[in-house]
Amino acid sequence: MSARRVLAVDDELQILRALRLILRGEGYEVLTAAGVQDALDRTALTPVDAAIVDLLLPDGDGVQLCRRLREWSTMPIIVLSAVGEEEQKVRALRAGADDYITKPFGPGELVARLEAVLRRVVTEPEPASFSAAGLEVDLVAHVVRRDGQAIHLTPTEFSLLRALVVNRGRLMTHRALLTDIWGPEYADDVTVLRGQIANLRRKLEPTSGPRRHYVRTEPGIGYRFDPR
């Protein structure tokens, strides 16, 4: 079984080194980032199981990072900070953090808190098929039907639909979809994604009657599969 991967985000090199030593000593694989954008870039390219995030970062703060990560991920997030005021803890928890540890911290406490939030994670197996609002998607046979009629999708369109269906209800950012479907070299090519989304919508939506809005746009951020 492969080691669980944890992202450590802090602008203090000494803290990052300490986190790396502590977590590696407990069998975790550790990625590090020094700021908000660095952390978002790393999680877009490499899946992680949990994140330990400093509250004060050079290009934002841990609360902002929690919000951005929660746009597409349910991974456990622990905020680690020297700021111990209750107001800051509440901000972090409301932004999506699962726990909050105040510096200085004990290695044993940190590992115990990390293990606790990871135990709460329930991994849902990928469904073999999905149906809603007249749309049927067989993820094994790569068959798509709307109101019983087969819809032909290109391999790229099906991969895009699959990513949205598996993460249904969640906001998938442009970068996350581009990296997943086309690879990291396309992470910023939003024009490619918009074109494929337009093609996918044209094929999924009925040619007559009310639109069903299978794929919803979150302007400037990404897309969500949320048929109603």
Sequence-ordered list of residues with C-beta below 8 angstroms from that of 199, at least 6 positions apart, any chain: 154, 157
pLDDT tens per residue across span 62-118: 899 998 888 878 889 999 887 766 778 778 888 888 888 888 889 999 999 899 888
What is the C-alpha to C-alpha distance for residues 154 and 48, in angstroms, rounded to an integer?
30
Give residue 213's region: left, alpha or beta (phi > 0; psi -120 to 50): left
Fold classified for 129-225: Arc Repressor Mutant, subunit A (1.10.10)
pLDDT tens per residue across span 126-148: 678 888 888 999 988 899 999 99
Q: Sign of the C-alpha dihedral, residues 81, 86, 87, 91?
A: positive
What is the C-alpha to C-alpha distance for residues 78 and 199, in angstroms, rounded to an integer?
39
Extents of the domains making up the chain? 5-119, 129-225
Find where tokens 């550790």 sit.
30
This prediction has a pTM of 0.56
Fold classified for 5-119: Rossmann fold (3.40.50)
Q: Read off the DSSP letter of residue 56.
A: E
